[in-house]
């Protein structure tokens, strides 16, 4: 039973971590090589794609912007560039076309690199053909540029406060509402037992009178 409990706990922790890792924003330092749009027919991986440009119709397939980049270590990284609109995840991104123009503007060659910080969420997975969604691009000084993840810190602290609040709420509800109820039930049970014992004793006393014992 202990292993089952631990197993379920570990699975839950992995799901929560994976969910947050997918959804929270991250910054990559990359060099933009080119950008394009491709028609995508969504299949098994459709959950990993966002929404069509806000205001457009939702069809079975559509054109999606892509930003092709190279990381400082020479490995490629491809981002999609899609609106999230009013849906999940809550980035409220509507400026897809503007972002594509910015990305085009920051395109550079390996001979004369212009490093950019791409804010994105999501994962790149070759087996599923899924791409992280770029949310913003910003020119940076060099490939070693770093920044403190303020947004993630605030969001995680907020989630922690929310979890603590819910935990306190449940504890308060138990202490003030459930426990008194249980005490009432307990008391009622005790009362009924005392009453029953009294009846039993009286009955035994009555039986005793047949054998000549005095009632006590």
Partner 1 sequence: MIAFFRLAVFGLIGLSVLYGLVLIYARSVRREKLEKDWLREGSIGAQEDYVSQGLAEYRRSFAKKLILLVYIVPIVTVGLVLYVVNFS
Interacting positions 20-49 with partner 1 (CB under 8 A): none
The window from 12-20, 59-67, 139-147, 165-173 that contacts partner 1 (CB under 8 A) reads: 165-173
Interface pick for partner 1 out of 93, 102, 116, 134 (rule CB under 8 A) = 93
Q: Which of 21, 44, 33, 128 is nearest to 74 (CA)?
A: 33
80 near partner 1 (CB under 8 A): no
120 near partner 1 (CB under 8 A): no
Q: Which residues contact 121 (CB under 8 A, 6 or more apart)?
A: 22, 23, 24, 25, 26, 89, 91, 132, 133, 135
* Total residue count of the chain as it appears in this document: 216
Shortest gap between Cβ of 160 and partner 1 (angstroms)? 15
Q: How far apart are CA 60 and CA 62, in angstroms?
A: 7
Interface pick for partner 1 out of 92, 123, 167, 189 (rule CB under 8 A) = 92
Interface pick for partner 1 out of 26, 54, 107, 117 (rule CB under 8 A) = 54
Interface pick for partner 1 out of 24, 33, 124, 136 (rule CB under 8 A) = 136
Strand-strand pairing, 133-139 and 61-70: unpaired
Shortest gap between Cβ of 139 and partner 1 (angstroms)? 15
Residue for token digits 């440009």? 53
For residues 133 and 120, the answer to whether their CB atoms sit within 8 Å is yes
Shortest gap between Cβ of 192 and partner 1 (angstroms)? 29
- Torsion sign over Cα 31, 34, 37, 43: negative
95 near partner 1 (CB under 8 A): yes
Catalog residues that contact partner 1 under the rule CB under 8 A: 51, 54-55, 85-87, 90-95, 98, 135-136, 165, 168-169, 172-173, 176
């Amino acid at each position: 039973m202990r292993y089952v409990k631990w197993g379920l706990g570990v699975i839950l922790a992995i799901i929560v971590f994976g969910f947050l890792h997918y959804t929270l924003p991250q910054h990559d330092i990359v060099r933009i090589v080119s950008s394009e749009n491709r028609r995508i027919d969504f299949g098994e991986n459709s959950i990993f794609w966002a929404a069509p440009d806000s205001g457009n119709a939702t069809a079975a397939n559509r054109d999606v912007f892509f930003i092709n980049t190279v990381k400082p270590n020479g490995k490629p990284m491809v981002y999609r560039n899609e609106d999230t609109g009013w849906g999940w995840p809550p980035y409220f991104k509507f400026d897809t076309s503007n972002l594509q123009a910015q990305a085009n503007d920051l395109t550079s060659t390996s001979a004369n690199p212009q490093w950019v910080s791409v804010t994105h969420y999501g994962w790149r997975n070759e087996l599923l053909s899924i791409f992280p969604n770029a949310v913003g691009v910003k020119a940076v000084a060099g490939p070693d540029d770093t920044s403190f993840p303020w947004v993630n810190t605030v969001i995680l602290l907020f989630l922690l406060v929310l979890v603590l609040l819910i935990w306190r709420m449940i504890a308060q509800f138990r202490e003030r509402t459930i426990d008194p109820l249980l005490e009432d039930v307990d008391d009622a049970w005790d009362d009924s037992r005392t009453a029953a014992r009294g009846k039993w004793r009286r009955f035994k006393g009555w039986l005793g009178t047949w054998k000549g014992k005095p009632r006590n």
